[in-house]
A = this chain, B = another copy of it.
Amino acid sequence: MTLFLGIDGGGTGCRAIVADATGAVLGTGSAGPSNIVSDPDGALASILAAAGAALGSHGRLDDLHAVLGLAGGNVAEAVETLVSRLPFASALVVNDGVTAVKGALGDDDGVMAAIGTGTIFAVQRAGQIREIGGWGFILGDEASGAWMGRRLLAMGLRAIDGFVPGTPFLDEIFAELGGAAQIVGAAPGMRPADFARLAPRILAAAEAGDPAARRVVDDSVAEVAAAIELLQGGETLPVVFLGGLGPLHAGRLKHRWPQQAALGGSVEGAVFMARRRHEAGLGR
C-alpha cells in the first residue's frame, strides 16, 4: 500500500492530507502547533496526531510517504532530529514557503506573492524555487501587515515632531491607543500580529483618502511590485497573490503582470510534492 501525506505546520497549528497515488484525498486532519525549533516534542506529537487523523483506517503510518512544509524547515539540526523520529515510509522536510509555492502553482512556472502579517515572495521556474523576503518583522517583511502598522505609528510620531503633516486618521488611531507616550511604551512588547491588526484600518482610511494611510499603502504596493519585478527578471510569469493583503496588491497591480488563482494551499502543495517525489523514484 502506497499512500501520500502532506503536512503544513507552524506556530499556530498543523494540517495534514492523505492521498492515494492518483491524488484522490482519503482524509484530512489537524492538530496543535508544530514549532520544531522551540518545541520539538510538541511538534512531533502534533504532526503524528494530524497524520493519524488524516489516515484514519486507510493504512498504517509506515505506509505514508510524507512531505512536511514546516516553519523552521530550514533549520538543519531541528529537521534532522525530527526526521529521525518520524515513523513514515519516507519523509522530506522543507520550509513552508516551498510547500506554499507548490500548492499555489503545482508544476507551473510563476510567481507567488504571499502578503499577510509577514511576507514570502517566490518564483518557480522548471520546478526550481527561489524565495526572497520573509526575513521577519525586525529586519525585513517589507510591505507586510506588521510593517504597515509599524510604519503608520512611526509616521504618527514624525507628525507630532513636525517632520510630516498630521492627518485625521493618525489623530484617530493615536487617540484610540492612548497617545504617543502610551504607544511608545507598548511598542517593545508588541508582536507582529499586533501591528498587523492596524492594516485593515489603514486600507479603509486610504480608500477614504487619508494622506498618511495612502502613503503607507502606496509604499507597501511599491515594495511588493519591486519584489515581484526582481523575481520576474524581465519575464511576465503569472502571479498568484496570497495572504490577507493579497487582494489589495492583486487589485493595485492587476495591469502589470498576468495573475492566476492558487491551485491550493501549503498542505495541498506538500501532498503534491510527496506524490511527485515518489513518481520520480525518490523517497522509496
Mark A residues whose CB is within 8 Å of B.
Answer: 37, 74-75, 132-133, 135-140, 150, 153-154, 157-158, 161-163, 180-181, 183-185, 187-188, 190, 226-227, 230
B residues within 8 A CB of A154?
135, 139-140
Cross-chain contact B138 with A188 (CB below 8 angstroms):
yes
B residues within 8 A CB of A180?
135
B residues within 8 A CB of A135?
154, 157, 180, 184
Most buried by B among A37, A161, A181, A188: A161
10 A-B pairs closest in CB distance: A132-B161, A138-B187, A135-B157, A139-B154, A139-B187, A135-B184, A136-B184, A139-B153, A140-B157, A139-B157
Contact partner of A161 (CB less than 8 A), chosen from B133, B150, B158, is: B133
Look across to chain B and name the residue whose beta carbon is closest to the beta carbon of A181: B74
Cross-chain contact B162 with A230 (CB below 8 angstroms):
yes
Cross-chain contact A138 with B150 (CB below 8 angstroms):
yes
Additional 13 contacts, C-beta under 8 A, given A137-B188, A140-B157: A37-B185, A132-B161, A132-B163, A135-B154, A135-B180, A136-B184, A138-B187, A139-B153, A139-B183, A139-B187, A140-B184, A163-B227, A163-B230
Q: How far is the CB of A236 from chain B (nearest CB, A)?
A: 19
B residues within 8 A CB of A184?
135-136, 139-140
What CA separation (Å) do A184 and B49 show in the bound complex?
30
B residues within 8 A CB of A136?
184, 187-188
Look across to chain B and name the residue whose beta carbon is closest to the beta carbon of A152: B139
Cross-chain contact A132 with B183 (CB below 8 angstroms):
no
Q: How far is the CB of A120 from chain B (nearest CB, A)?
A: 12
B residues within 8 A CB of A150?
138-139
B residues within 8 A CB of A161?
132-133, 230
What CA separation (Å) do A136 and B187 show in the bound complex?
9
B residues within 8 A CB of A230?
161-163
B residues within 8 A CB of A181?
74-75
B residues within 8 A CB of A153?
139
B residues within 8 A CB of A132?
161-163
What CA separation (Å) do A86 and B268 show in the bound complex?
66
What CA separation (Å) do A161 and B121 show in the bound complex?
10
What CA separation (Å) do A31 and B154 show in the bound complex?
35
What CA separation (Å) do A161 and B181 show in the bound complex?
36
8 contacts between A and B (CB under 8 A): A75-B181, A133-B161, A135-B157, A137-B188, A138-B150, A139-B157, A140-B157, A163-B226
B residues within 8 A CB of A188?
136-138
Q: How far is the CB of A146 from chain B (nearest CB, A)?
A: 11
What CA separation (Å) do A256 and B184 show in the bound complex?
32
